[in-house]
Amino acid sequence: MTRPELVLLLAGFGHVGRRLVGLLDEMGSRLAFSWRVGAISTRRHGSALSPTGLDAARAAAHVASGGSLAGLTPAPADRVGLSLIREACRMFTDEAAGGRLVLVETTVLNVDEGEPAMSHVQAALEARAHVVTANKGPAAIAYRELAALAARMDRRFLFEGAVMDGLPVFNLVRETMPGVRVESFRGVINTTCQHVITALANGREMADAVADMQASGIAEADPSLDLDGWDAAAKAAVLANVLLDGTLTPSRVTREGVRGLTGDDVRAAARGGRRLALVASGARHPDGGAHARVRVESLSADDPLAALRETDNALYLTTDLLGEVGIVQRTSTLTQTAYALVSDLTTIGRGL
């Protein structure tokens, strides 16, 4: 059986985007699809566009060492961002018509307007490209509109990596729990805050703990997104919108961060046999819609979230037919985030 070839347009080429092309190379024949990169757009390193495919590994090395993509193609693309995506969609109209063109959106999170990701996603879907993204913004801010647009265009809008990296959350519910109604969720879904709370307990400074996470590519570029609970709130909004038929945005999630916590707070909880964690939760309203909140909770020892280690994430779903179901991720790496994009690309490849 020949595998379908996907043409990837990479909007954003930071840690996640670069790890993705490496992982795709490593996975090789284990993939249900073959691929080539048609375009790359970055914020600070220029852009590149080629009908026959770019050398993704070379592009990743260039950008990682601070270089520009300009030298990569004979006639470098002079557009970036939205206008590059539009140009690429015009270049690959046949692939778009055949359902083989995919925008891979990995620009940084913006919790207010979701830009530039929102415009990228919209433009791609309107041009009949599929969209896969690890960016929480679009689904946190406008899930319903984007899902409707994707349905109208007969294309996929997938974002498995938005919550818990490569661990299946949305795929889990959609593919393996047919007919099951999710009533509520509760989880620890921000690794940086887990790490900060552990570091505080050990007498370290919050700033040092954040620096660790930035160095490993896990913390958001703007650490206030993690520390003030915005990242968790955006994830909670996506979970509520997708699993609970909510219409939330990150700013409509009741939100509290870890910034006010001290080592004393964490140690005092531990002396009482409890554990502090930034917990995101959400539930359906009896009359439709959903609400969600993010806050520091003091967990009793028999709370399943209290058993998590520093780098663990966990999400528990309360359902009608399966009772309470949990998924646990026991380490969080860039490979896992990149894998989320691979699993979404596989969903598209399997559909061809």
Q: Which is nearer to a copy of itself, 288 or 326 (CB)?
A: 326
Shortest distance in whole angstroms from residue 314 CB to a copy of itself: 8
Q: Which is nearer to a copy of itself, 94 or 320 (CB)?
A: 320
Q: Which is nearer to a copy of itself, 147 or 306 (CB)?
A: 306
Shortest distance in whole angstroms from residue 259 CB to a copy of itself: 28
Distance CA 282, CA 315 (A): 11
Q: Which is nearer to a copy of itself, 207 or 301 (CB)?
A: 301
Shortest distance in whole angstroms from residue 31 CB to a copy of itself: 6
Q: Which is nearer to a copy of itself, 87 or 165 (CB)?
A: 165
Shortest distance in whole angstroms from residue 23 CB to a copy of itself: 8
Maximum CA extent, the chain: 65
Alpha-carbon distances of 176 from 101, 103, 170, 173, 321, rounded to whole Å: 26, 26, 10, 6, 13
Please, which residues have CB within 8 angstroms of residue 243's CB and are 6 or more apart in sequence? 170, 173, 182, 185, 317
Distance CA 124, CA 130 (A): 7
What is the contact surface with a copy of itself in residues (CB under 8 A)?
A: 23, 27, 30-32, 166-168, 171-172, 175-180, 302, 304, 306-307, 309, 314, 316, 321-331, 333, 335-336, 339, 342-343, 346, 350
Sign of CA dihedral 226, 117, 183, 308: negative
> Please, what is the angle between helix 56-64 and helix 15-27, to 10°?
150
Q: Which is nearer to a copy of itself, 192 or 337 (CB)?
A: 337
Distance CA 170, CA 318 (A): 14
Q: Which is nearer to a copy of itself, 143 or 316 (CB)?
A: 316
Sign of CA dihedral 148, 234, 40, 192: negative
Shortest distance in whole angstroms from residue 312 CB to a copy of itself: 8
> Please, what is the angle between helix 191-201 and helix 263-271, to 10°?
80
Shortest distance in whole angstroms from residue 341 CB to a copy of itself: 12
Q: Which is nearer to a copy of itself, 254 or 335 (CB)?
A: 335
Distance CA 117, CA 134 (A): 10
Distance CA 221, CA 329 (A): 22
Planar angle of CA 210, 215, 219, nearest 5 degrees: 50
Shortest distance in whole angstroms from residue 172 CB to a copy of itself: 6
Shortest distance in whole angstroms from residue 196 CB to a copy of itself: 20
